[in-house]
Chain A
Amino acid sequence: MTKSPIEVVVKCGCTMAVAILLMCCFVIATHAAELNVPTSVAAGSGLSIPTSGRGSATLYVAGPGTAIKRKVQLGQEIQLSADELQNAGRYVVSLDGNSATFFVIAGPVQSIAFLARPSRVPADTPNVITGTALVFDKYQNLVLQPQPVKFDLNVNGQTVSRTDMTKQGIAYIKLDSSKKEGPAQFMASSGPASVRRVVQEVASDPCNIRMSAERDKNGVLVRTDPIRDCAGNPVPDGTIVTFTSTDSQGKNTVDARIKRGIAQAHLPASANATISVASGVVVGNEIQWRVDR
């Protein structure tokens, strides 16, 4: 039995209508899964992603140290908690075939990693103390936005302060050591965070070594005045001071140690000798020793 033309037209029209209806549904469904995320989010602040449509879908979130997969209901807001967005970096969100990216940036400065080098420096020396500070937020993300870091160096009540802006999370400074020896309190602070280190400032090279000589029962006793560096700091005990005497019988050398600020040694008796003193590469005075017979 053949179909009438009207029946054919009606059937074709119905088919087309269903197809159009399905396409509209598909378009509507696609538009409902589009993700609307901000460009960046502060670490630890959480994120709410609105969705539309109906039904359930699977949400995927991938980022630094983060991988999330869970079932969500379309049409409801998707909540990403603060704990899930702790680590700074680029995140990709994918839902029902659509994806979007956003960045988690570091929050406010909460802690500082501070390196002060070296642990021991000579006093009164320029650019000898270095400080390097790295600023982090609550979740140990490096804060890349420029932040002010204040460096303070305090020795015996005298403080030198300087503020430097971080570059890519790092602030670096070089400071002179003070004239006075002693433990220098070196502090770096930014916001609520601060860290203290101690740099020991010690005496520099001896300066103006003066010695005297006198006869004693063992020969010649040579003794220095209290040995200090050029800034007046006493050179520590145990430092080597070399006494040398040269006479007709040869050369005599004694590497004495500073004890209670002075160094002394016994040299052989001699009628005519040249006595000198030195410590490291610093030379002191010279004595022409003569014994009148």
Chain B
Amino acid sequence: MSPAKSPDGAVQSLLAHAKAHDYKGAYSYVAQSSDNDEQAFARDLTGRDGSLRTYSSLQQADTKVLHATDDEALVRATLEYATAVGAFYDTRDLKVVKQGDRWQVEWPVVQEAKVPPQVIQENYLRWDVITRGSDDDWGAQNVEAPRVRIVSMNAIAQGNNTIIVGEIENEDTVPGFVSVGATLVGKDGSVLGEETSFDKISHTLLPKEISPFRIDFPKVQLGTVKSVRMAPNSILGPASADPVIGVMHQRVETDTRGSHVLKGDLVNQSGVVVNIPHVLATYYDNSGKVIWVSGRLRRPSAVAADTSSICRRSARRPGLQCPQLPRYRE
């Protein structure tokens, strides 16, 4: 391995070896002062416990030296991963130090909560479904899909796009898989667009659970829309009442780039490991109206039982003026 002659070079060499799955080679660019051992370093890059990281691979890494002295520097690495659910972006600010004639990266130690070996009894409710069969009476009912209701809806203009945001509630006593579709109708009665919420919704809703949704209509101006037809759909299916995830210490902070960021801690209060947390944030104005919904798959790392991990959501929404930062809920 050729030693890195610059801070930028050290970070790029480390990431190039990581991209090629040569973690031993990548570790050679890690400073000895780091408290990471090689195994922990490799686990941090490859993921574990079936997290999203284990289904992803590093595609691209861009680096930028934020500031540098003769002995140390701060390098920002913007990483793009290809994952099973689409592209994932991550930004890390890495401290690089000069040791002798080479620059090496002080890789941050990732503090994962250590859960001791134990047996965790799980007694959360599960639902299963038995549907009608071919030998049932002609008029006999099948089990109905859960009743869902859109409790709020708001149409927002975002440049040349129209965004529909709102919330949907499962009013029933059984769980369901839900989605929300919308059709925009123009002033002449023609259909301007039909879209669904896709991943900007929590699809599995337990009884009395409320999920936000967001439906994007690119290249449709709000001024051309006369009416919106909403179509909530629900399907009855098996479900489980766990995991129970708490979102703690939700607060808005300003990151190093000056952007407002919604941060919080995910706490797994149930006994099952959560592989891929999907975080949705809902923003309300002072009257309680939904004004924005954002969602993101959390940085690829599983949340073990009875542990917490940090998530961050960008509170940036075009047109959202600070300090008029709205109320939010994750």
A250 at the interface (CB under 8 A from B): yes
Contact A238 to B249, CB < 8 A, known contacts A254-B244, A256-B244: no
Give, as a whole number of angstroms, the nearest-CB distance from A151 to chain B.
14
Give the distance in Å from the alpha carbon of A268 to the alpha carbon of B249 in the complex. Answer: 9
B135 at the interface (CB under 8 A from A): no
Contact A280 to B171, CB < 8 A, known contacts A238-B241, A257-B241: yes
Give the distance in Å from the alpha carbon of A281 to the alpha carbon of B168 in the complex. Answer: 11
Q: Are A240 and B209 in contact (CB under 8 A)?
A: yes
Give, as a whole number of angstroms, the nearest-CB distance from A227 to chain B.
10
Q: Are A268 and B248 in contact (CB under 8 A)?
A: yes
Give the distance in Å from the alpha carbon of A256 to the alpha carbon of B206 in the complex. Answer: 11
B127 at the interface (CB under 8 A from A): yes
Q: Chain A residues with Cβ under 8 A from B242's Cβ? A: 257
Contact flags A131-149 to B (C-beta < 8 A → 1, else 0):
0000000000000000000
Q: Are A255 and B250 in contact (CB under 8 A)?
A: no
Q: Find B125's partner among A114, A241, A249, A259 (CB 8 Å cutoff).
A: A259
Give the distance in Å from the alpha carbon of A86 to the alpha carbon of B178 in the complex. Answer: 48
Per DSSP, chain A at the interface is: strand
Among the stretches A88-96, A115-123, A160-168, A172-180, the one at the interface with B is A115-123
Q: Are A113 and B246 in contact (CB under 8 A)?
A: no
Q: Chain B residues with Cβ under 8 A from A53's Cβ? A: none
B216 at the interface (CB under 8 A from A): no
Q: Are B141 and A116 in contact (CB under 8 A)?
A: yes
A251 at the interface (CB under 8 A from B): yes
Q: Find A253's partner among B124, B139, B141, B247 (CB 8 Å cutoff).
A: B247
Q: Chain A residues with Cβ under 8 A from B138's Cβ? A: 113
Give the distance in Å from the alpha carbon of A52 to the alpha carbon of B169 in the complex. Answer: 78
Contact A252 to B246, CB < 8 A, known contacts A120-B174, A239-B206, A281-B169: yes
- Complex interface residues of chain B between 139 and 181 (CB less than 8 A to chain A): 139-144, 151, 169, 171-175
Give the distance in Å from the alpha carbon of A249 to the alpha carbon of B151 in the complex. Answer: 30
Give, as a whole number of angstroms, the nearest-CB distance from B150 to chain A.
12
Give, as a whole number of angstroms, the nearest-CB distance from A56 to chain B.
46
Give the distance in Å from the alpha carbon of A198 to the alpha carbon of B228 in the complex. Answer: 38
Q: Are B269 and A265 in contact (CB under 8 A)?
A: yes
Contact A236 to B173, CB < 8 A, known contacts A254-B244, A254-B246, A255-B244: yes
Q: Find A238's partner among B137, B140, B169, B206 (CB 8 Å cutoff).
A: B206
A228 at the interface (CB under 8 A from B): no
Q: Are B173 and A203 in contact (CB under 8 A)?
A: yes
Q: Find A254's partner among B174, B249, B251, B269 (CB 8 Å cutoff).
A: B269
A77 at the interface (CB under 8 A from B): no
Q: Find A266's partner among B139, B210, B251, B269 (CB 8 Å cutoff).
A: B269
Give the distance in Å from the alpha carbon of A252 to the alpha carbon of B266 in the complex. Answer: 10
A262 at the interface (CB under 8 A from B): no
A195 at the interface (CB under 8 A from B): yes
A275 at the interface (CB under 8 A from B): no
B245 at the interface (CB under 8 A from A): yes
Give the distance in Å from the alpha carbon of A241 to the alpha carbon of B207 in the complex. Answer: 9
Q: Chain A residues with Cβ under 8 A from B142's Cβ? A: 119
Per DSSP, chain B at the interface is: loop
Q: Are B139 and A280 in contact (CB under 8 A)?
A: no
Q: Find A197's partner among B139, B247, B330 (CB 8 Å cutoff).
A: B139
B64 at the interface (CB under 8 A from A): no
Contact flags B237-278 to A (C-beta < 8 A → 1, else 0):
000011011111111000000000000100101000000000
B329 at the interface (CB under 8 A from A): yes
Q: Are B250 and A280 in contact (CB under 8 A)?
A: no
Contact A119 to B139, CB < 8 A, known contacts A238-B127, A250-B250, A252-B248: no
Q: Are A115 and B269 in contact (CB under 8 A)?
A: no
Give the distance in Å from the alpha carbon of A267 to the alpha carbon of B246 in the complex. Answer: 8
Contact flags B61-89 to A (C-beta < 8 A → 1, else 0):
00000000000000000000000000000
B43 at the interface (CB under 8 A from A): no
Give the distance in Å from the alpha carbon of A206 to the alpha carbon of B172 in the complex. Answer: 12
A237 at the interface (CB under 8 A from B): yes
Contact A252 to B247, CB < 8 A, known contacts A113-B138, A114-B139, A257-B124: yes
Give the distance in Å from the alpha carbon of A202 to the alpha carbon of B172 in the complex. Answer: 9
Give the distance in Å from the alpha carbon of A110 to the alpha carbon of B96 in the complex. Answer: 89
Q: Are A239 and B139 in contact (CB under 8 A)?
A: no
B208 at the interface (CB under 8 A from A): yes
Q: Chain A residues with Cβ under 8 A from B174's Cβ? A: 120
A279 at the interface (CB under 8 A from B): yes
Q: Chain A residues with Cβ under 8 A from B173's Cβ? A: 120, 202-203, 235-236, 239
* New A-B pairs, 17, CB < 8 Å, besides A120-B172, A120-B174, A237-B125: A118-B141, A195-B139, A203-B173, A205-B208, A235-B173, A238-B127, A239-B207, A240-B209, A250-B248, A250-B251, A252-B250, A254-B244, A255-B246, A257-B125, A257-B242, A268-B249, A279-B208
**10 A-B pairs (CB sep. < 8 Å):** A115-B139, A118-B144, A119-B144, A120-B174, A239-B208, A254-B267, A257-B242, A259-B123, A267-B246, A280-B209
The 5 A-B residue pairs with the shortest CB-CB distance, nearest first, are A250-B251, A280-B208, A254-B246, A119-B141, A238-B125
